[in-house]
Amino acid sequence: MAIYALGELVPDIDPTAFVHPDATVIGDVVIGPESSVWPQAVLRGDYGRITVGARTSIQDGSVIHSTLIYPTVIGDDCVIGHLVHMECCTIGNGALIGSGSIVLHRAVVEDEALVGAAALVPNDMRVPSRAQALGVPAKLKLDAVEPEMMIRLGARQYVENGARYRAGLRRID
């Protein structure tokens, strides 16, 4: 795994988490129990803290960053899709951030909310619980999320997949 300390900043990764060998984790990053970080994802905590809760997946190619002023906080049971860019934002528990989306400074995605694929959640936007944020820039569709079918099932599948990879992934070349 590409896990790096930067001076005194050392990642804190729960032993039950799965970080793929081709992912990169640098500096002030906390990854919670049973979470997973997939190939080419980059969590760069060089200026500020990145916190990933329990049972959350950070999928392939996603980039997570923060600044000296604003951390990036991702809750429990979240699905962070492929190629997501997140910086200095807060993601509540049980949220889904769709593939290719961007969530920027001081944005808050509340519990069980969904950011659609390729959406742009601009600075300071708040996505209420169980709402969808869709488009560029994102527009809200309130009370549109059914968490069990749209988020929780995917979060559970990634917990299982992380355990499968911890137990069975091996390089063969």
Q: What value does the mean pLDDT take over residues 129-145? A: 95
- State the pLDDT confidence band at 1, using cuts at 50, 70 and 90: low
Would you say residue 123 has pLDDT above 70?
Answer: yes
pLDDT over 90, % of the chain: 91
Residue with tokens 């069975």: 168
Q: What is the CATH number of domain 2-167?
A: 2.160.10.10
CA distances from 104 to 17, 66, 87 (A): 26, 10, 5
Distances in whole angstroms, Cα of residue 17 to Cα of each of 41, 121, 130, 141, 166? 14, 28, 27, 33, 8
Specify the DSSP class assigned to residue 106: T
Statement: residue 149 has pLDDT above 90: no
Report the C-alpha gap between 132 and 63 in whole angstroms.
22
Q: Looking at residue 173, what is its pLDDT? A: 83
pLDDT of 11 strictly over 80: yes
Q: Is this prediction's pTM over 0.85? A: yes
What are the pLDDT digits (tens) for 65-86? 999 999 999 999 999 999 999 9
Using the predicted structure, report yes or no on whether residue 105 has a pLDDT greater than 80: yes
CA dist., res. 89 & res. 68, Å (int): 13
Q: What are the boundaries of each domain within the chain?
A: 2-167
pLDDT digits (tens, 9 = 90+) for 36-57: 999 999 999 999 999 999 999 9
In whole angstroms, what is the distance from residue 108 CA to residue 92 CA? 8
What DSSP string runs through 107-125?
A: -EE-TT-EE-TT-EE-TT-
Distance spanning both ends of the chain, measured CA to CA: 16
Cα distance between residue 71 and residue 150, in whole Å:
27
